Amino acid sequence: MSTGSLPTLVDLARKSLLQKESLAIPALEQLPPQMFPPLFEDAFTARLKDTLKALVRIWPFDTLPLGALMKEPQLDILKAVLDGLDMRPTRRSGCRRCKLRTLDLRSIHGAFWSACVHACPPGLVGRMQPVQHSPRMCARSAVKVMANLCLSDIMPNEFLAYLFQWVKKNPRTVHLCCRKLKISATFLYSIRKLLDLLELGCIQEVNVRSTWHLSTLAKFTFYLGRMSNLQKLCLSHICVSTDSSPEEQEEHISHFTSQFLRLNRLRRLHMRGVSFLQDHLDRVLRCLSAPLEALSITNCVLSEADLVHLSQCPNTDELKHLYLSCVPLTSLRLEPLRVLLETVASTLRTLDFLDCEITDSQLDALLPALSRCSQLTTCCFYGNKFSMETMQGLMRHTGNLNKLRLELYPAPLESYNAQGVIQRARFFELCRDLLGILKEIREPQGVMFSTRPCRNCDKRVLYSMDMPYQCQCPEPA
């Protein structure tokens, strides 16, 4: 047996402590802080719930990242830890340690269990005698419980249900903090009681993944406006009820957009299938309190007036990421987008025009501005209608963009026959020619060409720098 595999004195001490739980608990007060994390892990693995309670009661660190140990929710462990929090020393009881301020249920901070030992102040190692703190230092203070949550119409699982009930019983000493909040509830009333339990000022990201009426969104603004640290907001499938009058719609939009004035940390705004945006984008943009870093508008209909407001809004002139996916642009003048690209040329890193059906003449208006986007790392033009000649011009205009790492281009129109069916051999030939033009100017990192989805299997035929990929459907004669 090698020396490295021999158990250390600390290992032996941990094993001895855990063999008899009734004897281990009184001895915890005498242990140095360095032994708490490995001992907690051992007790967690062995499911020694009384030991876990006792460890939590005198936990010597600010944070207990419990979520990093749980691959899936474990109700019995949660109950033991929360019981330990309830048993923390009070102002009147003598205690050696009472430092725990945050219980983290997120699956992060995995390195804590090995790194926190090294973070302990020098001199604590080997100090076996209890350290006496004054009663004032041992007074029970509020605990922050960190969790990323998804709220839906159905009752939460037993793990979350127990957590919510515990938080509800301890409103003064527990703050439930959620950095990333997902909402899949169709009806706001079904999650209102849960939203009322949250420290809304802690929320940094909100993702609404359900179909809401505009009136529901307006009611949600009561909570949205209190999320003072919100950095990212994602809205999906906000529809306008046919029963609401134009006056009611205007009122709902005003309720929603007015809250943006209070969100001075909002930097990323993503809107997918938001039906009220057409002719109202200016209402959203002008209420922003600070410049956006990312703006995503997907599966929405915009007007030319919307594009003008997009290009003129001072809160879009520092964009790093612009996504206009599945936004029909064929019938619109794109000069406002050219102005926007010129404005953000020094900051823009991602540009996505997926399935916007942009035509040759429209792209020609954008190319001079596109060639000035020197920080661009990713661009996507899949699903647009470019001829081979226009594609050649696109290759030359992106030729000087040396920071591009991913480039996604559509199949030239000449790749299709008169019935709109892809001719694979022709497609691969044209792609090789276009890639050759690009290689004459610079060394591309990742380039891919894509056809429209196959009519039979809905997959795309792809041509990349490495090899072509095609669906298995037989090619028409």
Closest CA to 178 of 156, 196, 165: 196
Please check whether residue 120 lies inside any domain of the structure: no
Same domain, 90 and 186: no
| Secondary structure class of 401 (helix, strand, coil) | coil
Please check whether residue 81 lies inside any domain of the structure: yes
For 448, phi then psi, to 5°, come to: -145, 140
Q: Of the residues 115, 139, 174, which one is the last residue of a structural domain?
A: 115
Please check whether residue 477 lies inside any domain of the structure: yes
Same domain, 323 and 281: no
**Residue numbers of the chain with a pLDDT score lower than 50:** 1-3, 6, 92-94, 117-139
Closest CA to 385 of 360, 409, 365: 360
| Secondary structure class of 454 (helix, strand, coil) | coil
User: What CATH number is associated with residue 249?
Assistant: 3.80.10
Q: What would the pLDDT profile of 265-301 be if each residue is shown by its tens digit?
A: 999 999 999 999 999 999 999 999 899 999 999 999 9
Enclosing H/E stretch for 23: helix 21-27
Please check whether residue 45 lies inside any domain of the structure: yes
Please check whether residue 84 lies inside any domain of the structure: yes
Q: What would the pLDDT profile of 51-82 be if each residue is shown by its tens digit?
A: 899 899 989 889 999 999 988 899 999 999 99
CB 425, CB 398: distance < 8 Å: no
Same domain, 273 and 346: no
Q: Which residues pair with 233 in a beta bridge?
A: 206, 269
Angle at 391 between CA 413 and CA 337, to 5 degrees: 105
Q: Of the residues 95, 115, 135, which one is the last residue of a structural domain?
A: 115
Angle at 452 between CA 447 and CA 457, to 5 degrees: 115
Residue with tokens 């979350």: 160
Tell me, what's the pLDDT at 29?
79
Please check whether residue 304 lies inside any domain of the structure: no
Same domain, 111 and 240: no
Same domain, 247 and 349: no
Q: Which residues pair with 300 in a beta bridge?
A: none
Q: How many domains does the chain have?
A: 3
Alpha-carbon span 129 to 198, nearest angstrom? 40
Closest CA to 252 of 269, 275, 236: 275
Please check whether residue 228 lies inside any domain of the structure: yes
Alpha-carbon span 423 to 421, nearest angstrom? 6
Extract the tokens encoding 23.
């004897």
DSSP state at residue 220: H
Same domain, 257 and 353: no
Q: Of the residues 115, 138, 168, which one is the last residue of a structural domain?
A: 115
Same domain, 341 and 278: no
Same domain, 167 and 32: no
Enclosing H/E stretch for 180: strand 180-183
Tell me, what's the pLDDT at 96?
53
Residue with tokens 């030239």: 412
Same domain, 437 and 327: yes
Tell me, what's the pLDDT at 467?
67
Tell me, what's the pLDDT at 1?
43
Burial track 28-55 (b if 16+ CB lie within 10 A, e otherwise):
beebbbbbbbebbebbbeeebbebbbbb
Please check whether residue 383 lies inside any domain of the structure: yes
CB neighbours (10 Å) of residue 12? Answer: 11
Extract the tokens encoding 69.
């140990």
Residue-number span of the structural domain to which 282 is assigned: 147-289
Closest CA to 391 of 372, 408, 369: 408
pTM of the complete model:
0.87
Tell me, what's the pLDDT at 262?
92
Extract the tokens encoding 19.
């063999």
Extract the tokens encoding 299.
């599966």
Same domain, 399 and 468: yes
Same domain, 263 and 410: no
Same domain, 339 and 444: yes
